[in-house]
């Protein structure tokens, strides 16, 4: 699931980057020529999206929050599962010892079936919520990166910035076009400032 998420990040980031630059570069001539210190000259650059996301402090913080929520959901599910198992053992014990009538046993069994269905429903709901929160987290991280690139477009002076990752549509790239480290340093610095 983690590898799929990273591939999705890359594809989404690439699509957003291409659309952004197509939209804002439409026919305008840049008065700035030459390269900014530390940034290669040209109209295309790329960032290694896997490295950016994994080393982005915002992603780490949000991932930690998600793991906390996941542990909380697991604890809730385990607690309710333990209650169900205890009730099922108690029911089986009473039936084996003949301590309940058939009518009472049927009622208890019906209650256990309902409790089991509620447990499955709760598990599905918690799992669905966690998947949705992970998707929102991924979108927030990608939006943050895209907004950073937009805010600092004058520093980069590129028409396209591609997101490269394993399995992405960018199969080869010249290392001189790699601005990954510069972008990573910039977004982490911006995020730390905003976090304070």
* Residue 86 phi, psi (nearest 5): -65, -45
Q: Taking the model in full, what pTM does it have? A: 0.70
| DSSP conformation class of 153 | H
Q: How confident is the model at residue 28 (pLDDT cuts 50, 70, 90)?
A: very low
Distance, in Å, from the CA atom of 162 to the CA atom of 170, rounded to the nearest integer, reads 8
Judge whether 79 lies within some domain. yes
Judge whether 127 lies within some domain. yes
Judge whether 138 lies within some domain. yes
pLDDT tens string 73-127: 999 999 999 999 999 999 999 999 999 999 999 999 999 999 999 999 999 999 9
What is the domain range of residue 139? 2-26+39-195
Residue 167 CB burial class (10 angstroms; 0-12, 13-18, ≥19) = exposed
Judge whether 152 lies within some domain. yes
Q: How many domains does the chain have?
A: 1
pLDDT tens string 88-98: 999 999 999 99
């Amino acid at each position: 699931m983690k590898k799929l998420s990273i591939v999705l990040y890359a594809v989404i980031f690439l699509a957003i980057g291409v659309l952004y630059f197509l939209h804002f570069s439409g026919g305008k001539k840049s008065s700035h020529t030459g390269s900014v210190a530390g940034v290669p000259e040209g109209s295309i650059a790329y960032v290694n999206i896997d490295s950016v996301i994994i080393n982005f402090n915002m992603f780490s913080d949000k991932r930690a929050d998600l793991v906390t929520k996941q542990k909380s959901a697991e604890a809730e599910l385990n607690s309710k599962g333990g209650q169900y198992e205890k009730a099922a053992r108690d029911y089986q014990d009473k039936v084996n010892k003949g301590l309940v009538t058939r009518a009472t046993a049927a009622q208890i069994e019906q209650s256990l079936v309902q409790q089991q269905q509620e447990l499955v429903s709760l598990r599905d709901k918690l799992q669905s919520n966690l998947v949705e929160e992970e998707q929102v987290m991924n979108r927030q991280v990608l939006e943050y990166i895209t907004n950073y690139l937009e805010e600092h477009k004058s520093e980069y002076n590129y028409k396209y910035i591609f997101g490269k990752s394993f399995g992405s549509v960018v199969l080869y790239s010249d290392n001189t076009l790699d601005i990954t480290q510069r972008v990573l340093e910039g977004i982490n610095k911006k995020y730390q400032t905003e976090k304070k």
